[in-house]
Structure 1
Amino acid sequence: MESTHVSALQMKHAGLERQIAEEMSRPSPDQSAIQMLKKRKLRIKEELQFH
C-alpha cells in the first residue's frame, strides 16, 4: 500500500514538472500559474520525504 502511494506522488510530481515546463516554454508564460504549480510540486516533494 505504501509504495503505491509513493508511486502516485512521484507520478503527480513528474506531471507537475511537465506542466511547469510547458507553461514556461510559452511566448508569454502565466507566472501565477507557474507559482501555483511549483507550490503544489513542493508539497508533493515534502510529502515524499516523509515516506
Structure 2
Amino acid sequence: MSLGAHLQELKKKHAHLSATVEEQQRSPAVDELTLRNMKKEKLRLKEEITRLDS
C-alpha cells in the first residue's frame, strides 16, 4: 500500500469514528467507557495522519 493510499484509509477511519462519536454523544444511553475509547482511537489516528502527512 502506498503512503497516499494509507493516509486516505486513515482519514476515512478518522471521519467514520468522528461521526460515530458525535452520534453516541447525542444518544441518551451513551456508554462512557466506549465513548472514551473511541475518542482515544480518534486522537491516535489524527496523530498518525499528522505524522505521516508532514
TM-score, normalised to structure 1, is: 0.91
- 2:25 partner letter: M
TM-score, normalised to structure 2, is: 0.87
Give 1:28 shift: 2.2
- 1:25 partner letter: R
Q: Which runs of 5+ in 2 are unaligned?
A: none
Aligned to 1:23: 24
Q: Post-superposition, which runs of at least 4 consecutive aligned residues in structure 1 deviate over 2 A? A: none
Percent identity, aligned pairs only?
Answer: 33
- 2:42 partner letter: K
Aligned to 1:3: 4
Q: Which runs of 5+ in 1 are unaligned?
A: none
Count matched residues: 51
How many Å separate the matches in 1 of 2:17 and 2:30? 15
Give 1:29 shift: 1.2
Give 1:30 shift: 1.0
